[in-house]
Amino acid sequence: MTVSRFDRRDHGPRLLTAPFAFFPVALTAVIFLSLLNKAWPLLSLKSLSSLLLSSIWLPSRGHFGLLPFVMGTLWVTITAFLLAVPVSILTSLYISEYAPARLKRIFQPVLDLLAGLPSVIYGMWGVLVLVPVVGKYLAPVFGHQSSGYSILAASMVLALMILPTIISVSVEVLNSVPLALKEAALSLGATRFEVIRYVVMKKSFPGILAACVLGLSRAFGETIAVLMVVGNVPVIPRSLFSPAYPLPALLANNYGEMMSIPGYESALNLAALLLLIIVVGFSIMARWYLVRISRRSG
């Protein structure tokens, strides 16, 4: 009787809160359909494959090849991810397992400060420091000529921007490993490094992977800082020292301008739709992999 009475009293709050639980899904669907509706005039005239596989971007002549922008997005984001992940994991391991308490109290405000800096600050730092370093020093070392405005400069800026996110979440995950597990491994004769490698990392791997995916999702959508240092040239990149033109930079530079050109607005909305699909696709694959890891470890 008590349980049923509780269920009746709980019925109202459950009905009240249920719509809010579905709101993120509904919002994502609305965004997708809105972009698809705006991109449809171009898709009704040209096939998606011809737009994705073409490298010619001449809106004034009706050519809207999106391949350089997709490739630029993938090059910059994946390179930044590869640069950021090893540094993030090693830093989080040091903060969690080795750093003294006084140093930990310093690290956390610094990470919060880096995470809260505006993107334009990172972009200005990239223009003033990284672009000259890449153009004058790094490119000649590897036998390339570059102005410095390149995938490498953009990736380094982007890697620095996602470091605080990955490190903060990873530290929280590492700190959540039960102390009893560590002490049990130490009591069996394991060294501190072996405890970290075989106990802490194994237990924390799904959470650290989730932190990396969170950083990757942010990297895909970053605009201003990347726009300032990547070069914004609509060509397919051939190396890390080549300029590129990622999808977010394309949207930030061009939306609202030259809309009198037929198909231009539809092409930009299609670019936004592609960016949404890429981010959601990566997130779904990462979630699927996390579920597999959890079932395997369970």
User: What tokens does 201 get?
Assistant: 């990392």
Is 114 part of a structural domain of the chain?
yes
The answer to whether residue 127 scores a pLDDT higher than 90 is yes
- Mean pLDDT (the chain) is 87
Q: Which residue has the tokens 């509706």?
A: 37
For the chain, percent of residues with pLDDT exceeding 90: 39
Average pLDDT over residues 105-120: 86
Q: What is the pLDDT of residue 125?
A: 94
- Work out the number of other CB atoms within 10 angstroms of the CB of residue 18: 9
Contacts of 170 (CB under 8 A, 6+ apart): 88, 89, 92, 96, 204, 207, 208, 211
Q: What is the pLDDT of residue 160?
A: 93
Integer Cα distance of 162 and 123 in angstroms: 14
Q: What is the pLDDT of residue 1?
A: 45
Q: Which residue has the higher pLDDT, 2 or 55?
A: 55
**Confidence class for position 24, pLDDT limits 50, 70, 90:** confident
**Confidence class for position 137, pLDDT limits 50, 70, 90:** very high
**Confidence class for position 101, pLDDT limits 50, 70, 90:** confident
Transcribe 131-162 into DSSP letters: HHHIIIIIHHHTT----S-SHHHHHHHHHHHH
For 218-277, write each residue's pLDDT tens digit.
888 788 889 999 999 999 999 999 999 999 999 888 876 666 777 888 999 999 999 999
What are the beta bridge partners of residue 58?
63
Is 175 part of a structural domain of the chain?
yes
Is 243 part of a structural domain of the chain?
yes
User: What tokens does 77 get?
Assistant: 């984001």
Is 8 part of a structural domain of the chain?
no
For the chain, percent of residues with pLDDT exceeding 70: 93
Please give the biggest Cα pair distance in the chain.
Answer: 80
| Sign of the alpha-carbon dihedral angle for 257, 260, 262, 266 | positive
Q: Tell me the chain's radius of gyration from C-alpha atoms.
A: 23
Average pLDDT over residues 150-177: 92
Is 16 part of a structural domain of the chain?
no
For 88, the domain range is 66-263+272-297
Q: What is the pLDDT of residue 36?
A: 92
CATH number of domain containing 126: 1.10.3720.10
Contacts of 81 (CB under 8 A, 6+ apart): 159, 162, 212, 215, 216, 219
Number of domains in the chain: 1
Is 42 part of a structural domain of the chain?
no
